[in-house]
Structure 1
Amino acid sequence: MAEKKVTGTKDLFQVLWNSANILRSKMDANEYKNYTLGLIFYKFLSDNQLVHVANLLEEPYTNLSEAQKIYEEAYNDVDLREELYENLQYDYSYTIAPELTFQSLLNDIHKGQFQREKLMQGFRDVETSDETFFGLFSDIDLDSNRLGTTQQKKSDTIASVMKELDGLNLAETSSDVLGDAYEYLISQFASESGKKAGEFYTPQSVSQLITRISMLGKENVAGFTVYDPTMGSGSLLLNAQTYSNEPTKIRYFGQELNTSTYNLARMNMMLHQVPVTNFKLRNADTLDQDWPTDEPTNFDAVLMNPPYSAKWSAAKGFLDDPRFSPYGVLAPKSKADFAFLLHGFYHLKNDGVMGIVLPHGILFRGGAEGKIRQILLESGYIDTVIGLPANLFYSTSIPTTVVILKKNKPDKTVFFIDASNDFEKVKTQNNLTDAHIDKIIEAYINKKDIDKYAHLADFDEIKENDFNLNIPRYIDTYEEEEPINIVQVSKEIQEIDKQIADAEKELLAMLDQLQVTDETKSIIEATKAVFRHD
């Protein structure tokens, strides 16, 4: 089959989305995303290897079927096979046998000879090739009853998904196009996953906002480092590519507790053509044990959208942890918001910028949170507080706030922006447009008061407010209602009364014209009595 011609993200997305639709009726989005994204990634790895083999051997090819034949012939040459495998392992850190490539499995499907066991073996071979790929496909259960009630039905389901991808050459698809399509696919899964989406996805508009702020003035930095200790699918981290003039030199660091989501983040990095040497990701509990502890431990940008008001142990031993010890108290067990914030801040470079999305409660709650907030403010660490609209996230409808932190601020002022009313409604969600984001960025750069939108508060003002950062204390968005025109209202009431009277007369006239029977007589008389006010 000739390879499908993909002209841009939209076309590729349609093909990828069609493959997802096959599983939609069989399981919820939070499950079928693992199958769809995993199979797409396996094809990506397989296509890359086929193209690389053909190029290594300097053999001409016009499609993946021809590249597959080149690989099979080279593999059958015993003298060439070992050298070829060494090259593949060195260049890609993984090898897929010729009979296990995505293209070979598609050939089996077309012949009616597809076996899921071969696909499973392909997964295992990649996972054992290098520690980078360990457990990468562990969430894809090819023997799940969700795929079908019989072995044949299970195979047919997987084969149908693979056939939708038939002909696409993901190795020679632009990394921007493929990365954008993959990101969009993740966003669609998030939209369908509801509250579970919070585990793996931050809306692009929010990601863009905090990434742009964190990278202001550092667009030309080569070797820029970015860290997200609650990284989800890695989408927030990857936004740094968009705003850097040295995107190939960015180094990414991330941690994620959920294993499925951690696997998704690794796939996302590779599909965006980020070299394995440029990212270091970890599957662990960010709060339970500090990481990273080996260099580098501090980063140019820390970007976070942690789970809101999550529970954590808050064990007394954490008071000796350098992440939390300077504050003398710990975030409450029932609300780990400040624990996440302090962890991220601890790993920020002295000249770095941190952006974190949290619920508004962190701005004004008292107790231990109030003490932590006061120390941050007295140290001049909190730079900006941005109020966002409600219903931006798939996982919650509550309004959120972005807090920008810095370690080397020259003063203790805090800049407030109330962007809660700036959004567009898209179906059931609210969204920040590029214009809304630009407006916030411009206000952030200028740091000047804007009526009902922005205010630069000095430390004395903050102190007078008992270190409470609730945005309405600093920005008055009250709009005085226009005075009521009593004469006009009276005229409108009179007009409405006249319309009602006319309608009643019309109804009574209609009742008089109705044919009266024993069954309808009492109903008609009762209705007339009501409108004649008898």
Structure 2
Amino acid sequence: MSEDQKKQLESQLWNIANTLRGKMGADEFRDYILGFIFYKYLSEKMHLYANELLAEEDITEFTQLDPATVDGKEMLDAIEEEALQNLGYFLYPAELFHALAQKGSKQTDNFILEDLGKVLKHIENSTQGTNSEEDFEALFEEIDLDSSKLGKTVNQRNELIAKVFTHLDAIDFKLGDADSDVLGDAYEYLIGQFASGAGKKAGEFYTPQQVSSILAKIVTVGKSSLRNVYDPTCGSGSLLLRVAKEVENVGEFCGQEMNPTTYNLARMNMILHDVHYSRFDLRNEDTLEHPAPQHADKRFEAIVANPPFSADWSASTIHEADERFSDYGKLAPKTKADFAFIQHMIHHLDENGTMACVLPHGVLFRGAAEGVIRKYLIAERNYLDAVIGLPANLFFGVGIPVCILVLKKNREEHADNVLFIDASSNEHFEKVGSKNQLRPDDIANIIDTYTQREAKDKWSYLAPLSEIEDNDYNLNIPRYVDTFEEEEPVDLDAVSEELKALEGEMEATNATIASFCQELNIKAPF
């Protein structure tokens, strides 16, 4: 599919999304439209897979099977067994998206709300007792078909949903194209569009693609595949999926997300990007207070994250015995959990792994407990590999400048220094609408500097650990990267001559004015 066709698909989906908007907020109609797109995807995937199985039996069409007949039921039971193993779910022919869309488009007998509710529930129930059960459990719980926001009456709600289904049904997702991830890209586009309208809530589920790209490229430097990747605040899962674009293969995707709605979105995003249910392990947990026990013993080759900036957490003394935090001597402050997230990630980082996370600049210089933790990371462990300053106003709902911290447990190659990059100045981004945006060249400059470990005037600096110690482990970027632009020296002799010339011009002008006043027989103004 060409770039123009891809943009056309994105535009079509966004236009359909807006038919649902009505009185809903961006985060509300997001759940409906993304859920419906996901249901259509599951239907088309099921249809294609079933037809592949049936081709071996000289039957070419899944929708021709009748569960009311003995042969039809036997065939459907066999397909269900295979589908649950390989897809992770099962749908009957009558439950496919196209079947409901066709019924909804009829002039009479077109009520589909009840059928739709049953189908969505059956998708979840079909997985019970199977290996994919946890990945599909309560996946559609945010789709409330009885919500008055869809319409005051049942018929109004049905009419709206049927209209959306009819529009979606007309779009070819091209799932049969083996190398195509067009739908996945379109899904990411929609998530970004919803983030732009969600204000501060966008931080719960979305990291701008240009920032995601930097994180993903950093943690995959020198690698063609990853054993696993982890995001402890995974939101919609977009950052995990971005890492997969940088390597040939990722063995396992792991993540945690506290918000149930966003957690559902992340699971849908994984499946829709054709990540098999056996290859992702996402958990609906509070990363700091109640980390997923399934991840407790796991160590990850790559970790990426965009944690909530300076979030509150309990900072309870019970955490002082937690192996994630116990070695540091201090807990992160109750009103600034930034370093608690860093400590959690370091605990799960493998010896050969790399972690890159987005954080507010305060982590670089704030004192008290955070200063103690920062010193321990650098002086005692030497985990800090790089500090990258980014422009302000990159994120939806957050205008402050941010930084990326890169940490490694094994820094033998560059053990005596830390790389600082200042990519925050005007020439390193462009303004697009109300937001700032990193261009492809800006991203490339950051990655090239990181990989080549270069010091460049007014851009990057390799700070010896001794210098960082002299600065009392303050990592504020201007201490290391001097971006001050010296003004050209002033030629005082030339300025003096200009002033003399101006004074002569003023005297001549005053004389002219005085002569005019004399002719008019009025008093001169000086």
Shared topology, TM-score over 0.5?
yes
Letter in 1 for 2:126: S
Question: Helix, strand or coil for the counterpart of 1:349?
Answer: strand
- 1:447 deviates by 1.9
Q: Do structure 1's residue 202 and structure 2's residue 207 form an aligned pair?
A: yes
TM-superposition CA deviations, 1:155-193 (whole Å, max 9, x none): 111112111111334332554211111111111111111
Would the alpha carbon gap of residues 299 and 109 (structure 1) be closer, same or farther in structure 2, given more than 3 Å must change?
Answer: same
Structure 2 vs 1, CA of residues 435 and 80 (structure 1 numbering), >3 Å: closer, same or farther?
Answer: same
Q: 2-side partners of 1:418 and 1:399: how far apart?
A: 11
Residue type at the aligned position of 1:115: I
Q: Distance in 2 between matches of 1:45 and 1:315?
A: 44
CA distance in 2, matches of 1:184, 1:293: 31
1:97 aligns with 2:97: no
Corresponding residue for residue 514 of structure 2: none
Partner of 2:285: 284
Q: Which residue type is aligned with residue 350 of structure 1?
A: E
CA distance in 1, matches of 2:525, 2:57: 94
Q: How many angstroms apart in 2 are the aligned matches of 1:74 and 1:488?
A: 103
The percent identity for this pair of structures is 46
CA contact (8 A) 2:378 2:384 kept: yes
User: Judging changes above 3 Å, is the alpha-carbon distance between structure 1 residues 432 and 85 closer, same or farther for their aligned structure 2 residues?
Assistant: same
Provide Cα deviations, 1:489-515, integer angstroms capped at 9, x if missing partner: 869999x99xxx9xxxxxxxxxxxxxx
2:64 partner amino acid:
I
Match runs of 1:201-350 below 5 Å:
201-219=206-224, 221=225, 223-245=226-248, 247=249, 249-291=250-292, 293=294, 297-350=298-351
Contact 1:54/1:71 (CA < 8 Å) preserved in 2?
no
Deviations 1:177-225 (A, max 9, x none): 1111111111111111111100000001111101101110112x3x521
1:11-26 matched pairs, under 5 angstroms = 11-26=8-23
2:32 and 2:498 mapped to 1: Cα distance?
62
Q: 1:114 maps to which residue?
A: 111
Structure 1 counterpart of 2:478:
472
C-alpha contact 1:231 1:304 (8 A) present in aligned 2: yes
CA distance in 1 between counterparts of 2:321 and 2:163 reads: 55
Change (3 A) 1:124 1:455: same
Counterpart selection for 2:46 from 49, 55, 58: 49
Q: How does 1:442-481 map to 2 (within 5 A)?
A: 442-481=448-487
Amino acid at match of 1:160: K
Structure 1: runs of 5+ lacking an equivalent:
502-531
Structure 1 residues 431, 488: closer, same or farther in 2, change over 3 A?
farther
Q: Does residue 1:149 correspond to 2:152, yes or no?
A: yes
What are the Cα deviations for residues 2-52 of structure 1, in whole angstroms up to 9, with x where unaligned? xx9997421221221121110223311111110010000001001111222
Residues 282, 218 of structure 1: CA spacing in aligned structure 2 closer, same or farther, 3 A cutoff?
Answer: same
Superposition pairs of residues 296-445 of structure 1, within 5 angstroms: 297-378=298-379, 379-410=381-412, 411-421=415-425, 422-445=428-451
CA 1:446–1:90 in structure 2 vs 1: closer, same or farther (change >3 Å)?
closer
Among 10, 23, 28, the residue aligned to 2:25: 28
Q: Distance in 1 between matches of 2:98 and 2:497?
A: 76
Question: Secondary structure of 1:172's partner?
Answer: coil
Tell me how far apart the structure 2 counterparts of residues 493 and 318 of structure 1 sit (CA, whole Å).
73
Q: Deviations over 1:132-167 (max 9, x none)?
A: 211101111111111111111111111121111113
The RMSD of aligned alpha carbons is 2.9
Are residues 182 and 75 of structure 1, via their aligned partners in 2, closer, same or farther at CA, if it must alter by over 3 Å? farther
**Partner-residue secondary structure (3-state), 1:27:** coil
CA contact (8 A) 1:53 1:71 kept: no
> What's 1:81 paired with?
76
Hey, what's the Cα distance between the residues in 1 that align with 2:45 and 2:502? 74
Q: Secondary structure at the match of 1:290?
A: coil
Listed as ranges, the matches of 1:125-140 within 5 Å are 125-130=122-127, 131=133, 132-140=135-143
Native 8 Å contact 2:229 2:252 kept in 1: yes
For residues 3 and 214 of structure 2, what CA distance do their matches in structure 1 show?
30
Contact 1:200-1:232 within 8 A present in 2 as well = yes
Q: 1:14 to 1:180 in 2, by over 3 A?
A: same
Are the aligned partners of 1:19 and 1:162 in contact in 2 as well (CA < 8 Å)?
no
CA contact (8 A) 2:207 2:238 kept: yes
Partner of 1:529: none
Q: Tell whether the 8 Å contact from 2:356 to 2:404 is kept in structure 1 after alignment.
A: yes
> 1:295 Cα deviation (Å)?
7.5
Give the Cα separation in 1 of the matches to 2:194 and 2:365: 34
Cα distance between partner residues in 1 of 2:230 and 2:463: 29
Corresponding residue for 2:517? Answer: none
Q: Return the offset for 1:289.
A: 2.2
Given residue 476 of structure 2, which amino acid in structure 1 is its aligned partner?
A: N
Q: Which amino acid aligns with 1:152?
A: N
Contact conserved, 1:199 with 1:261, CA < 8 A, in 2? yes
CA distance 1:25–1:358, shift in 2 (3 Å): same
TM-score by length of 2: 0.87
Distance 1:380 1:453 in 2: 23
> How many residues get paired?
492
Alpha-carbon distance, 1:90 to partner: 2.9
* Segment drifting more, 83-92 vs 133-142: 83-92
In the other structure, the counterpart of 2:171 is 168
Contact persistence 2:230–2:255 (CA under 8 A): yes
1:59 is displaced (CA, Å) by: 8.6
Counterpart secondary structure, 2:385: strand
Q: Which amino acid aligns with 2:273?
A: H
In structure 2, relative to structure 1, the CA distance for the partners of 1:338 and 1:491 (3 Å cut) is farther
Match of 2:37 in 1: 40
For 2:459, the aligned partner's letter is Y
Kindly indicate whether the alpha-carbon contact (under 8 Å) linking 1:415 and 1:457 is maintained by their aligned counterparts in 2. Answer: yes
